[in-house]
Amino acid sequence: MNIPISITAMNGPADLQKQLGEKAKALRLHLGYKRVTLSEKSGVSPETIRNFEQSGKITLENFLKIAFALDETRKLSPLFDLPEITSIREIEKMQQDLPRRGKR
């Protein structure tokens, strides 16, 4: 479903946070939920939901609770997936154990 929110250029995490809050509000309204209804479904206070929708600021735990209540978690699952394999060499590399630390 496409939510009618204008997508602006993101200059950093704060822009993305604000945009996520706006999109969550649009989806909540599309579903016909009041903040109190979403609060009851998610376990997140209406004040926290209001703050998230207006500023984008929220804890990860509360963000995930809202995502579950809005049935949006399937979109979060691929967030940190490893890159798609495109060659035999990459398959061989993937069969090796992942390093325990980054190199830099």
In single-letter form, the type of residue at position 45 comes to S
The pLDDT of residue 102 is 78
Residue 38 within any structural domain of the chain:
yes
* In-domain check, residue 46: yes
Read off the pLDDT of each residue in 78-92 and give the average, rounded to a whole number.
85
Q: What is the CATH number of the domain that holds 90?
A: 1.10.260.40
Place 9 in a pLDDT band, splitting at 50, 70 and 90. low
With respect to residue 49, please indicate whether it lies within any of the assigned structural domains. Answer: yes
- 5 pLDDT exceeds 70? no
What tokens appear for 43 in the block?
């376990």
pTM (2 d.p.): 0.75
User: 80 vs 19, 38, 47, 65, 75, CA distance in Å?
Assistant: 20, 27, 30, 19, 11
Residue 7 domain flag: no
Token pair 């939920």: residue: 33
- Please count the structural domains in the chain: 1
Residue 71 domain boundaries: 13-95
In a domain, 1, yes or no: no
Per-residue pLDDT tens for 34-73? Answer: 999 999 999 999 999 999 999 999 999 999 999 999 999 9
